Amino acid sequence: MRDATSMGVQSGPEDISNKRGRFQFTAGHQTTCQASRQRSEHLLRDDQAVSIDQRKNRPFAPHIQADFASNMGSEQFPLRQCGIYRNLPTFDPSIKDLDALVVGATGISGFNTIRSLLESPHRWRTIYAASRNPPSEAMLSLLTNEQRAKIQHVPVDLTGSADDIASAFTKAGVKADHIFFYGYIHPKGRSAMDPATADILMETNVPIFQNFLSALEITNLKPKRILLQTGGKNYGGHIGRARVPYIESDPQPQHLAPNFYYPQEEALFTFCDRHPETDWNIIMPFGVIGTAPTGGMNTLAPFAVLAAVQAEKGEPIQFVGDFEEWQEETCWSSARLTGFLSEWAVLEEKCRNQRFNAVDGCAISMDRLFEELARWYAVQKGVKGPVSDDESDFKTVELAGGENAPLGYGPPAKIRMSSSVVEWTKDEANRQAWKRIMDASQGQLSVDVFESGLDFEMADFGLYRIGQPSVAKLRRFGFNGFVDTMESTFEMYQEMARMGILPAPRVDAARPMI
């Protein structure tokens, strides 16, 4: 990744598209301030109405002209650092005393967005944390007393009616300048990444968002911005071969398979059309990692268990993919960095009614990750790479190709695995090793992750080569936030150890990717 001060800006106008309209950018000039802050191109959206056709990836209407006048956005202020999270935006100090409603507050994305917002206590007066259950004491232990005081839990069941949700908001006295929606219902006993679960996810996750939006109307809540987090499945790479890198203006493959993201987005667009005082953002992370009380949708958390158990048995960590997967450069999305990105998106005027990919900006390979896993958990026998280069040693998972894939042509995408992490969890020797680790922890470990707490299927899905996203739009709009994924993974392991879920690493720090 290049330093923010070295990123050039082209001269002359360029076109960039989003899902609701096309904008023409007139390039500005590059300056460098004493704080080494990149000046971004000024991007302001015209208030011209946008048609439904544009949202559904039909041919765009004529260019909307914009002069992108400055509005004292974050590009006017120096970058900041928050622990391992670097090059974060700073905002005008006059932006303060805001109220945020975070829906799905105890999940991996909701909780870590709350943590990111709380790093600016003057900006956020109250964080209304909406979830069925309140944040656990283990979660709150990661916060300071000052940060805890800003959180007000709003008990709500998103599977209830719009009236029920509205009643919960009214009873809690919810106020919301900005809303962050992470509500999600996981398919029971199934992997959310399996295309076969698409209908189940539609049936459960579309109504909860529609009812939530109706509840806002019932309670007369009028936020300035609603941010909806979807994800990388927007591009259909889990279905089959897709065009890469993934760009926010790419057509959605709605004709290939159901995806609850699409009707959720339509509901959001319709709501904002009815309520012009409210704008929207859509954020799309890829392979989410971060601290959470459970490991659902947490792609890299299971690998800590794999490493600790192999160390306990005195055996190496065996990589179960092929050489392409072993060396594939993959971008991940650390939930805290995505939280900082989400805050930036809702506060920037130029970002209203825009969607963004969300990634760390630091690609890693399984080769490098497994080397660090062995070091972190003192795996004396080290790591064994792919079992061979003979295709007959692998089981092949074949995704769609040709007209049945998002790309529309080409051979099927293939993922080859000699075994799987899920199969590894079924080995009784591994379960017994984990019990010995729990016994030796003297109470530090309180969760038998082989029974509940982690989604090991996500670890297998993390080995799939399904394409990488572009960060060009993020950078053009001025977000330069960065975290070294190796460091954020290590931070997650440390914090989930404090919560009693994962073993603590045996070393003090990760080796950064430098």
Q: Which two tokens stand for residue 319?
A: 């990589």
Q: How far apart, in whole angstroms, are the C-alpha atoms of residue 481 and residue 4?
A: 10
Contact 130, 105 (CB under 8 A): yes
Give the CA distances from residue 108 to residues 35, 260, 296, 329, in Å, rounded to whole numbers and listed in that order: 33, 19, 8, 24
**C-alpha closest to that of 101 among 76, 126, 80, 84:** 126
Cα dihedral 194, 197, 199, 202, rounded to 10, equals -90
Residue by residue, pLDDT tens for the chain (514 residues) are 433 333 333 333 333 334 343 333 333 333 333 333 333 333 333 333 333 334 433 333 333 223 333 457 899 999 999 999 999 999 999 999 999 999 999 999 999 999 999 999 999 999 999 999 999 999 999 999 999 999 999 999 999 999 999 999 999 999 999 999 999 998 776 665 666 788 999 999 999 999 999 999 999 999 999 999 999 999 999 999 999 999 999 999 999 999 999 999 999 999 999 999 999 999 999 999 999 987 667 889 999 999 999 999 999 999 999 999 999 999 999 999 999 999 999 999 999 999 999 999 999 999 999 999 999 999 999 999 999 989 899 999 999 999 999 999 999 999 999 999 999 999 999 999 999 999 999 999 988 999 886 889 888 988 888 889 999 999 999 999 999 999 999 999 999 999 999 999 999 999 999 9
End-to-end CA gap in the chain: 11
Residue holding tokens 């990444």?
193
Residue holding tokens 């995408």?
413
C-alpha dihedral sign at 19, 21, 22, 27: negative
Full-model pTM = 0.86
Buried residues in 68-105 as b, exposed as e (16+ CB within 10 A): beeeebbbebebbebebbbbbbebeeeeeebbbbbbbb
